[in-house]
Amino acid sequence: MELMEELVEEVLIRVPPDEPAYLVRAALVCKSWRRVLSDHGFLRRYRLFHRTPPLLGYLHNLYSRGPIPRFVPTTTTSPFAAAAPPPPLGGCERWRALDCRHGRVLARAFFDHDDDPLIVWDPTTGDQRRLAVPPPTTTDPRGAARRYTGAVLCAAADGCDHLGCHGGPFLVAYMVADEHHAVRVSVYSSETDAWGPPSAAVHVGRLFDARSSLLAGGALHFALYGGEGILRYDLRGHRLSVMETPGDFTGMVLVKADGGRLGFATTSSNGGFLYLWTQQQQAWAQHEAIDLKAVLPRGRGYRCHTRQVIGFAEASDTIFINRAAGVFALDLKSRRARMVGAVEAYDAIVPYVSFYTPGRS
Amino acid sequence: MEVDKGKGEAEETRKVAEADRDTVTLKSSDGKLFEVSKEAAARLSTVLAGMIAGGSIDDNGTDLKQIGSEALENVVDYCNKHANSIPSAALISSSISFNTAPFKEPEEWERKFVDRLSHDALFDLVEAANFLGMERLLDVTCHKISEMMKGKSPDQIREVFNIKNDYTKEELEEIRQELAWAFYDD
């Protein structure tokens, strides 16, 4: 028997978002289903209904298998599988993924020039925006990757739920350290298509870690190399500051803890436990220890890599752990883990989390 | 329904008598009668809650002309099972705002309840749930139907939903090429 039309919507809205192919196939069933699936109102309801955008894959900057950072799809059938390796960005085949947030990826092309451009890339539409970097504050050529970092975020007014804003206005924060380790940040606005003035400088002991940023409490946070400090950029005040961590936490990953507070995750030296630290009234406290043996599938090797915690997806509260058996995504809320990729010598990965629906535009 | 029992007027007495009955009788389109707990009916169906509050419940069987006996039996069965299960916090919060509330997984007994239904019975039940404004039952049945689409090709989905393909061959081919990635076999 056929389903009443008003119920078709109720059924389609419940199709899980974690396999994007399901909705695309549904759109090919008949024209009226396709109309439903490409309706903006429906898609908005769909995103609100599921609330948490699914993990579609992750980017990394390993060059062992070729010069191009790869997009590793984490779904059975992926819109990005055909496009792997990802397209040249900014006309350059070599690039480094720096950050990903609100459906956009921030990368920097490698032409091996000081003024290598930044690229904001929307993997679902393929749109790219090439940004010239702000004028350098140093003439010291010994820059390399630890000298700069950046973040991308939605620039929509407060109250955006960031479930489908990837086509809207955005900001890019780009920070560079000079030869004295003085860091300044400049912010690009897609609305004005211009960089604002650089901030006042702060001094950091060590330079940037290869990890992407964490947005919490109106500020972007960047781990500094060695895990002894966190660079904080207050978005409203356009002000940088350095926060200390309570010790050497090499290999830590910044996370968003309960109530949107800043935290970080690190593993015990034998790799058996995941420790979550949170900031509580200006002081850091170890908030929780998660026994990884209890949450990760058993019976596999637990050979340690130098870096075990390799990423965090803000939108879905997921920590990525690199083990001998593979890359695991651990959902901090449900404490459920699943394997999402093969083990590699990852320093860091940049998770890509987004809704992917057939009627996007 | 809370009824003010302090007044002695005739009208009130009648209402009290009605309110004291703890079941309501529902009549299917083919004339079969079903008893259901009044509390569960009012809690799970906005339409029945409205009828109970508005006094339009017929002691000899309230006519539900749009619902066949098999579907109505399942509705009543669901209400009774629901009344007997311990309502969880998840379930209560899921019925606050349909479709904008985050999705709540069906509970184990709800899953079993829809799993045992035949294809036609499930589709009849989803329409009955819709007609009666039973948000949670609609949620559970629609979820089950959406699960039936998992891993299926457009052809197979058409078969399940008994839908006629109204695309031309050319249109289909064009979309298929555009979205080729979605049609690799899993």
- Residues A289 and A174 both lie in one domain: yes
A85-99, A109-123, B160-174, range with the lowest pLDDT: A85-99
Residue A113 has a pLDDT of 77
Residue A268 has a pLDDT of 83
- Residues A87 and A196 both lie in one domain: yes
Q: Do A79 and B163 touch (CB under 8 A)?
A: no
- Residues A40 and A75 both lie in one domain: no
- Tokens matching residue A227: 């895990």
- Residues A22 and A148 both lie in one domain: no
The answer for B 42-101 residues in CB contact with A (under 8 A) is: 99-100
Asked if the structure places residue A275 within a domain, the reply is yes
Instruction: Measure the CA–CA gap between B179 and B153, rounded to whole angstroms.
Output: 13
A75-79, A199-203, A237-241, range with the lowest pLDDT: A75-79
Q: Is the pTM of this model over 0.90?
A: no
Average pLDDT for residues A329-342, to the nearest whole number? 90
Containing H/E element for A294?
helix A292-295
Task: Kindly tell me if the per-residue pLDDT of A242 is higher than 80.
Answer: yes
A45-49, A200-204, B9-13, range with the lowest pLDDT: B9-13
Asked if the structure places residue A174 within a domain, the reply is yes
- Residues A44 and A122 both lie in one domain: no
Task: Kindly tell me if the per-residue pLDDT of A179 is higher than 50.
Answer: yes
Task: Kindly tell me if the per-residue pLDDT of A147 is higher than 70.
Answer: yes
- Residues A12 and A127 both lie in one domain: no
Instruction: Measure the CA–CA gap between A242 and A238, rounded to whole angstroms.
Output: 14
pLDDT by residue, tens only, chain B of 186 residues: 444 444 445 555 555 455 567 899 999 999 999 999 999 999 999 999 999 999 888 888 899 989 999 999 999 999 988 877 655 444 444 333 333 445 577 888 999 999 999 999 999 999 999 999 999 999 999 999 999 999 899 999 999 999 999 999 999 898 888 888 887 654
Tally of domains within chain A: 2
- Residues A222 and A179 both lie in one domain: yes
- Residues A24 and A86 both lie in one domain: no
- Residues A292 and A330 both lie in one domain: yes
Asked if the structure places residue A360 within a domain, the reply is no
Q: Which of A8, A23, A28 would best serve as a mutation to test chain B binding (most B beta carbons within 10 A)?
A: A28
Residue A64 has a pLDDT of 58
Share of chain A above pLDDT 90, in %: 55
Instruction: Measure the CA–CA gap between A44 and A41, rounded to whole angstroms.
Output: 5
Asked if the structure places residue A123 within a domain, the reply is yes
Asked if the structure places residue A358 within a domain, the reply is no
Asked if the structure places residue A361 within a domain, the reply is no
Asked if the structure places residue A127 within a domain, the reply is yes
Asked if the structure places residue A359 within a domain, the reply is no
Residue from A102, A79, A53, A104 nearest A355 by CA:
A53
Domains and CATH numbers, chain B: 10-148 (3.30.710.10)
Q: What is the 3-state secondary structure (H, E, C) of A241-272?
A: EEEECCCCCCCCEEEECHHHCEEEEEECCCCC
Find chain A residues with C-beta within 8 A of B153's C-beta.
25
Share of chain A above pLDDT 70, in %: 90
| Whether the bond into A117 is cis, omega within 30 of 0 | no
Residue B176 has a pLDDT of 83
Residue A353 has a pLDDT of 95
Find chain B residues with C-beta within 8 A of A360's C-beta.
none
Confidence of residue A102 (pLDDT cuts 50, 70, 90): very high
C-beta pairs of A259-266 under 8 Å, 24+ apart in sequence: A260/A216, A260/A217, A261/A216, A261/A217, A262/A214, A262/A216, A262/A217, A262/A221, A262/A230, A263/A287, A264/A223, A264/A227, A264/A230, A265/A309, A265/A312, A265/A319, A266/A227, A266/A309
A2 and B CB contact within 8 Å: yes
Residue B186 has a pLDDT of 42
Q: Which of A5, A8, A12, A14 would best serve as a mutation to test chain B binding (most B beta carbons within 10 A)?
A: A14
- Residues A47 and A82 both lie in one domain: no
Average pLDDT for residues A257-282, to the nearest whole number? 87
The answer for B 96-155 residues in CB contact with A (under 8 A) is: 99-100, 102-103, 120, 123-124, 126-127, 130, 138, 142-143, 145-146, 149-154
- Residues A188 and A252 both lie in one domain: yes
Q: Which of B97, B134, B153, B157 would best serve as a mutation to test chain A binding (most A beta carbons within 10 A)?
A: B157
A31 and B CB contact within 8 Å: yes
> Please, which residues bridge with residue A130 across strands?
A119
Q: 């979550």: which residue's tokens?
A: A276
Confidence of residue A139 (pLDDT cuts 50, 70, 90): low
Residue B24 has a pLDDT of 92
Residue A270 has a pLDDT of 77
Instruction: Measure the CA–CA gap between B141 and B138, rounded to whole angstroms.
Output: 5
Instruction: Measure the CA–CA gap between A290 and A216, rounded to whole angstroms.
Output: 22
Q: What is the 3-state secondary structure (H, E, C) of chain B?
A: CCCCCCCCCHHHHHHHHHHHCCEEEEECCCCCEEEEEHHHHHHHCHHHHHHHHCCCCCCCCEECCCCCHHHHHHHHHHHHHHHHCCCCHHHHHHCCCCCCCCCCCCCHHHHHHHHCCCHHHHHHHHHHHHHCCCHHHHHHHHHHHHHCCCCCCHHHHHHHHCCCCCCCHHHHHHHHHHCHHHHCCC
Rg of chain A over Cα atoms, rounded to whole angstroms, equals: 21
Q: What is the CATH number of the domain that holds A109?
A: 2.120.10.30
- Residues A190 and A298 both lie in one domain: yes
Structural domain span for residue A40: 1-51
pLDDT in tens, A271-280: 788 999 998 8
Instruction: Measure the CA–CA gap between A125 and A104, rounded to whole angstroms.
Output: 10
Instruction: Measure the CA–CA gap between A147 and A136, rounded to whole angstroms.
Output: 11
Nearest CA in chain A to B171: A28
